[in-house]
């Protein structure tokens, strides 16, 4: 893909996993707040969440350098997907390990995008 804005640094990471229990709105807010600290991001607005009866939970946090979207499903089993996008460099291993430990994930996969 052609880089249309080489003057702007961008980093994106998608982390997905499965866990034993459903993920609540409170847990999403706590995760996004703590992830901000782990990645040393400056938070501009507290996390927000919303639940779709059909698709599950979604959450988002706004950082000075972009943010993170988070999605959680309960069925057919607890599953989550975090989409981290920022214009400030961060350590991928820190994000992956923190996410795995925070949700006590049974399995985690990740991809730089």
113: confidence class by pLDDT, cuts 50, 70, 90: confident
How much is the average pLDDT of 87-100? 98
pTM for the model stands at 0.95
Instruction: Return the beta strands (E) in the chain as ranges.
Output: 11-18, 43-52, 56-63, 66-73, 79-86, 107-112
The pLDDT tens digits of the residues spanning 41-92 come to 999 999 999 999 888 999 999 999 999 999 999 989 999 999 999 999 999 9
Which ranges of the chain does DSSP label H, i.e. alpha helix?
25-38, 92-102
All domains in the chain, ordered by first residue? 11-112 (3.60.90.10)
> For residues 6 and 57, what is the distance between their CA atoms, to the nearest angstrom?
34
- How far the first Cα of the chain sits from its last, in Å, is 11
| Cα distances (angstroms) measured from residue 109 to each of 8, 47, 65, 106 | 27, 24, 24, 11
């Amino acid at each position: 893909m052609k880089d249309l804005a080489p003057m702007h640094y961008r980093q994106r990471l998608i982390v997905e996993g499965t866990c034993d229990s459903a993920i609540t709105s409170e847990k999403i807010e706590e995760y996004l707040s703590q992830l901000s600290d782990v990645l040393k991001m400056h938070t501009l607005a507290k996390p927000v969440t919303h639940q779709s009866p059909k698709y599950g939970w979604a959450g988002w946090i706004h950082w000075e350098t972009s943010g993170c979207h988070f999605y959680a499903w309960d069925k057919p089993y607890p599953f989550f997907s975090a989409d981290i996008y920022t214009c400030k460099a961060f350590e991928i291993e820190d994000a992956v390990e923190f996410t795995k430990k925070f949700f006590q994930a049974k399995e985690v996969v990740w991809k730089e995008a």
